[in-house]
A and B are shown apart, each in its own frame.
Chain A
Amino acid sequence: MLSESQQSYLFPDPNGRYGQFGGRYVPETLMNALIQLEKDFLRLKADPSFQEELSYYLTQYSGRPTPLYYAERLTEALGGPKIYLKREDLNHTGAHKINNTIGQALLALRTGKKRIIAETGAGQHGVASATVAARFGLECTVFMGEEDMRRQALNVFRMRMLGAEVVPATSGTKTLKDATNEAIRHWVSHVEDTHYIIGSVVGPHPYPQIVREFQRIIGDETKQQMLAMEHRLPDAIVACVGGGSNAMGIFFPFVEDTEVELIGVEAAGRGVETEEHAASINKGRPGVLHGAKTMLLQDPYGQVTPAHSISAGLDYPGIGPEHAHFAEIGRARYVPVTDAEALDAFYLLSKLEGIIPALESAHAIAYVVKEASRMPKDTRVVICLSGRGDKDVEQVARMEGELSQ
């Protein structure tokens, strides 16, 4: 049960903190830009003309609202709760990421920035950034780990087609963590004319708040749709967590509805008992990464350790600071799902519902598959289907090729 003080949820506090987490651990060079960004964001958030413009592009360009789809055959097959899928996969570019990039591109335009930069892991946020850059006539540079560029060559081509420059991050593990380092380093050099579109609810304040605001549309719609269809709130909401933006987007509007259980699914890779996973909350300790204090995979001396997941979008050693806070106060639970479980769910949803989920989203489905038999039949569960699996088909085919050898 939540105490009285949590009934009115007011985070982040004026220092950009969510309890002990969050903050702004960045070089001094960026501080004024972050302070200004916070002011601009709060001003525009309250500006009806900005909200109207945002709403226009979400509707006309991205195709919102996305359906809350009753997955009848999945429900029947599992024999547990009634399962709804929030269809973020039906957004333009195939994932929830565009909710945030539309919002931040409009923010960049209204603050006179001509250029945006972004980091990307699988390439989904990079594609969503390159897309809005094309639409709004912004120059765009995307940082991507050299290793991920190799794994996701098609998305690299896609970004370049859209007119973006893709820069390989060659440091460290050459994946999302390092792409984010490179983006921040680049921003330090170009802070005066460039807006950095962070792709998840991570990074220094005010980024976790900005991304939460632009993603909360997922939860706001879900609430309305659920009330319209079922005349009640869902009993549980399940979402995968990389940095945590689709999860925060669908969780946040329910934060004070304490009867709704919030469940974040972390990538357990080859298992949380191995070294190869991305389960920051289950296996990490508080630490600082990318400008925020959060739960972090690290060695005893604070060196960040590489994450592993079958899905590049969850392959991240940290997590948004507000999720770390939710875990600490018990407002949400964070559970691990392995590569193998996610892959099974990837096939299951494809075969039962004709919906190929992103491998990231397949983690959320896998959790419900595992737990359905323990959940009461008369309950309603919403799964955030954060993206579609087209981007993963090639990877899965390659893996299957290896398996049959």
Chain B
Amino acid sequence: MNRIDQTFAGLNGEAALIPFVVAGDPDYGRSLDAIVAILEAGADMVEIGFPYSDPLADGPVIQAAALRSLQQGHQLPDCFRLIRDVRSKTEKPLIAFTYVNPVMQYGTERFFRDLAASGGDGVIIPDVPIEEAPELAQMASQYDISFIPLVAPTSGEERVRAISAQAHGFVYCVSSLGVTGERSSVASGVKSLVETVKRYTDLPACVGFGVSTPEHAAEIAAFADGVIVGSAYVRRIEQAQSEGDGSVAESVAEFTRQLKNACQRIRL
């Protein structure tokens, strides 16, 4: 059982809160502080986005954050260093969110070895569907890294079954069509997507893409095992950094408390 499995096993009825931030945004130090603050404020685990030049699955907010980080020269070794620095302060699960090309260039085995050695627990690669996953997933399991797959509203029952059967850690349910970014409401179909996943696996089903407010989190917490919030965090980081030092960690900590509170509402 790695840290992700243990964390889900230890949740008492509430949904896990899984924030996403981009490594090195707005800079290395403040992104480290932000992640630590998020975890101290009650998030159950965190997804750390590795900055990439061509993030196909991301909307403008996360694209801009990746660009800010890249412009400071952050690359894969900096992301591993960040994970190591966070790991020295927490035992909560840390999940790498990366596109496949940097993994390929670094070397698949070397990637998983270094991710594990840095204290990472899971990986999400949004441009690797199950057809392209076998080698990566096998290497991940060799280093006890959970290979967390995505299911989408367009997947259909057959693919959801196949994906869920091969999942580790949890199944990432994409709430609606489209790229990452804040939305005004929770898509109506996501509940049934979660239910389909649950027919085929005992692993937790978590919902992300577009989750923006504590109200959304509460709505999702009623039927899912975890709530993933990305762009809304990244936007707060961007806003806070333009307002001056120190406020980044405070801003994300406050948002985390609101979201976690929403996740703890009684499940229906």
Residue from the list B54, B63, B131, B150 in contact with A27, Cβ < 8 A: B150
Could you tell me if B59 and A29 are in contact, using CB atoms closer than 8 angstroms? Answer: no
Known pairs A189-B178, A189-B179; A28 contacts B105 (CB<8 A): no
Q: Answer whether residue B163 sits at the interface, using C-beta atoms and an 8 A cutoff.
A: yes
- Docked-complex contact B127 and A287, CB < 8 angstroms: no
**Cα–Cα distance between A8 and B104 once the two chains are bound (Å):** 31
B101 interface residue per 8 A CB criterion: yes
- For the complex, is A283 an interface residue (Cβ under 8 Å from B)? no
Contacting pair A28 B174 (CB below 8 A)? yes
Q: Mark B184-210, 1 if CB is under 8 A from A, else 0.
A: 000000000000000000000000000
Contact A24 B132 (CB under 8 A): yes
Is B177 in contact with A172, judged by CB distance below 8 angstroms?
no
Select B154's contact among A192, A285, A302, beta carbons within 8 Å: A192
Chain A, range 172-186, C-beta contacts under 8 Å to B: 172, 177, 181, 184-185
Beta-carbon contact of B100 and A188 below 8 Å: no
B56 touches A31 (CB 8 A): no
By a CB distance below 8 angstroms, the chain B residues around A134 are none
Q: How distant is the Cα of A295 from the Cα of B150 in the complex, in angstroms?
A: 27
Closest residue on chain A to residue B177 by CB atoms: A189
Q: Is B52 touching A303 in the complex (CB atoms < 8 A)?
A: yes
**Is B153 an interface residue, CB under 8 A from the partner?**
yes
Asked if residues B101 and A302 are in contact (CB atoms below 8 Å), the reply is yes
With contacts A32-B159, A301-B76, A303-B53 taken as known, whether A26 is within 8 angstroms of B129 at the C-beta atoms is: yes
Q: Looking at chain B, what size class is its interface with the partner chain? A: 35 or more
Q: B156 near A: Cβ within 8 Å?
A: yes
Q: How far is the CB of B121 from chain A (nearest CB, A)?
A: 22
Q: In the complex, A132 Cα to B127 Cα: how many Å?
A: 31
Chain A residues with Cβ under 8 A from B52's Cβ? Answer: 302-303
CA distance A29 to B153 in the complex (A): 7
Residues of A within 8 A of B102 (CB): 301-303
Contact B59 A185 (CB under 8 A): yes
Whether the pair A301, B105 counts as a contact (CB closer than 8 A) is: yes
Chain B residues, CB < 8 A from A15:
131
B179 with A28: CB separation less than 8 A: no
Main secondary structure, interface of A, reads mixed
Interface status of A73 (Cβ within 8 A of chain B): no
Q: Which residues of A contact B240 (CB under 8 A)?
A: none
Cβ contact within 8 Å between B132 and A304: no
CB nearest neighbor in A for B174? A29
Q: Which residues of chain A are near B128, meaning CB under 8 Å?
A: 25
- A348–B126 alpha-carbon span in the complex (Å): 48
Minimal Cβ-Cβ distance residue in B for A288: B101
How many Å lie between the Cα of A343 and that of B74 in the bound state?
Answer: 39
- Using known A-B contacts A181-B54, A188-B57, A289-B54, determine if residue A23 contacts B154 with beta carbons closer than 8 Å: no
How many whole Å from A7's CB to the nearest CB in chain B? Answer: 28
Cβ of A354 within 8 Å of any chain B Cβ, yes or no, is no
Q: Taking the complex as formed, is A300 at the interface, i.e. its CB lies under 8 A from any CB of chain B?
A: yes
In angstroms, how far is the closest chain A Cβ from the Cβ of B188?
A: 15
Interface mask (A294-337 → B, CB under 8 Å = 1, otherwise 0) = 00101011111000000000000000000000000000000000
Which residues of chain B in 35-53 are interfacial with respect to chain A, using CB atoms and an 8 Å cutoff? Answer: 52-53
If A189-B177, A303-B53 touch, does A289 touch B101 (CB 8 Å cutoff)?
yes
Closest to B155 in A: A28
How many Å from the CB of B169 to the closest CB on chain A?
Answer: 16
Question: Which chain A residues lie closer than 8 Å to B156 at the CB level?
Answer: 32
Chain A residues whose CB sits within 8 angstroms of the CB of B177 once the complex forms: 29, 188-192
Is B60 at the interface (CB under 8 A from chain A)?
Answer: yes
Partner of B105, one of A23, A29, A300: A300
State in angstroms the CA–CA spacing of A30 and B100 once bound together.
16
B104 touches which one: A24, A32, A189, A287 (CB < 8 A)? A287
Residue of B nearest to A178 (CB): B54
CA distance A302 to B179 in the complex (A): 22
A191 to B152 alpha-carbon distance, docked (Å): 12
Contacts of A285 in B (CB 8 A): 105
- B100-A288 in contact (CB<8A): yes
Minimum distance in angstroms from A285 CB to a CB of chain B = 7
Interface residues of A (CB under 8 A from B): 15, 23-33, 171-172, 177, 181, 184-185, 188-192, 285-291, 293, 296, 298, 300-304
Binding site for A on B (CB under 8 A): 52-54, 56-57, 59-60, 63, 67, 70, 75-76, 99-106, 126-129, 131-132, 149-156, 159, 163, 174, 177-179
In the A-B complex, list the 7 residue pairs whose CB atoms are closest, starting with the nearest: A302-B105, A189-B178, A302-B102, A29-B152, A303-B53, A301-B75, A302-B101
